[in-house]
Amino acid sequence: MNVANCPRCGKIFVKGFNEVCPNCVKEIDQQYEKCVKYLRDNKGTSINELSEATDVTMKQITKFIREGRISIMNAPNMSYPCEVCGTLIRDNTLCEPCRSKLVKDVRNNAEDERRNDERKKQSGGITFNIQDRLNDKR
């Protein structure tokens, strides 16, 4: 039996398909229903308005959107924050500038690793660290 503490409420529960306890699943489902009902009645709402009107956190609403439970296709004012900078976006998890920066950083890191590997090959795999040399003299 796989037992865990619920990350939302801290209660111990038998872990199955859900990552949270049955009480929290029920609460999340109720929050979802509140959001869906409000969105049906207020089509032009924003995520801030939805959160305030339903007392559901923006984080939970964003999770509903990312899980595909709430569609923002026909909700032109509905967007959610980028995970890095908080800019409001309508798809993925990062805005375009943050995504571009991440891609650039990954490329630069790969290039740095390639250069370090070339240096090691050119030196025959032997590297000399000045700090090691100073420690030898002591």
Give per-10-residue mean pLDDT for the chain (138 aa). 90 90 96 95 92 96 92 87 92 93 93 86 66 54
Element holding 104 (H helix, E strand):
helix 96-122
> Quick one: pLDDT at residue 94?
93
> Quick one: pLDDT at residue 128?
59
* Residue the block writes with tokens 């959107």: 65
Whole-angstrom Cα Rg for the chain: 25
> Quick one: pLDDT at residue 118?
84
DSSP letter string over 30-79? HHHHHHHHHHHH-TT--HHHHHHHHT--HHHHHHHHHHTSS--TT-TT--
Angle between helices 47-54 and 58-67 (to 10 degrees): 120
Q: Which phi and psi angles does 68 have, rounded to 5°?
A: 85, 10
53, 58, 59, 65: CA torsion to nearest 10: 90
Predicted TM-score of the model (pTM) = 0.70
